[in-house]
Amino acid sequence: MKSSYFKILVLAGIISLACTTKVSEWVLLNSIPNQYTLVYYHNAILSESQKQQNSEITRDIKDSNILFKNVQSKAVTKPYYALYYNERLFSKYNDPKELENLAHSPLREKIAGQLMAGKLCVMLYLKSGEEEKDNRNIQLLKKTIASSPFGETITIIELSRNDINEKHLISMLLNVEDDLMDIMEPMLFGIFGRFKALEPLLAKGITEENINLMIDFLTADCSCLIKDNLPGTDILFTNNWENPAPALVNAIIDANPSLTHL
């Protein structure tokens, strides 16, 4: 995530007509997650077994921010599934078994629970696999969050790239930008609202200044300009997002008015 973008958006909130609702809370309460599209490409009339497998997949992704479609084309030599977000291809699947738990997983449940409990955000640290590098950055992250006046409203979660139970989440995170898949560096994703993931801070970009800029953005008073240019990619997840707890950040700001951006 480019730190200059955070600076521009926070400044925009200062010079524009803003509401007093913070960015993170406004997104949770009002912003509907963008949809994914799962397409089943095939070249003939569906067999009963294909219909059955697609029916099971449809049930599994029910109530998620995703649309399922069948597309028949003579150009398809072997049936496959393709996952799109905003018309950009995220993943291909040749075996329907690969789609198991596409829309939900233990860690996604945990993250959503934190957001619904009023947390400002979840800082998701995707490890590179290089122990020394990973440890150095996670210690910096923990120190920065601990020193922030909003630290108690932020949850830090570490995730290994080899976690098979979170393969779909990892794939979606690495598709937040189109060049992340081949970068084997630690990545820090700020996740807020209804599971919106910001573009990550990478390697040497994981600095105290950049982490605090991310916090500044999420605690800024929302504005029309910020709403219209809201950054981030929505993660596929099953949740109705109804009746979240009050944002914990509000009590901190009420007790410390000097922390407000406006």
| Per-residue model confidence as pLDDT tens digits over 187-237 | 999 999 999 999 999 999 999 999 999 999 999 887 655 566 778 999 999
Residue 105's pLDDT is 97
Where in the chain are all domains bearing CATH 3.40.30.10?
A: 36-99
Which residues does the chain have with pLDDT short of 50?
5, 8, 10-17, 262
Residue 258's pLDDT is 76
Q: Tell me: the pLDDT tens digits for 138-162? A: 999 999 999 999 999 999 999 999 9
Residue 15's pLDDT is 39
The secondary structure of the chain, three-state, reads CCHHHHHHHHHHHHHCCEEEEEHHHHHHHHCCCCCEEEEEEECCCCCHHHHHHHHHHHHHCCCECEEEEEEECCCCCCCEEEEEECCEEEEEECCHHHHCCCCCCHHHHHHHHHHHCCCCEEEEEECCCCHHHHHHHHHHHHHHHHHCCCHHHEEEEEECCCCHHHHHHHHHHCCCCCCCCCCCCCEEEEEECCCEECCCEEHHHCCHHHHHHHHHHHCCEEEHHHHHCCCCEECCCECCCCCCCCCHHHHHHHHCHHHCCC
Residue 16's pLDDT is 44
What's this model's pTM, rounded to 2 decimal places?
Answer: 0.90
Residue 233's pLDDT is 95
Residue 4's pLDDT is 54
Residue 259's pLDDT is 79
Q: What class is the 36-99 domain? A: alpha beta
The rounded distance, in Å, linking the Cα atoms of 232 and 221 is 18
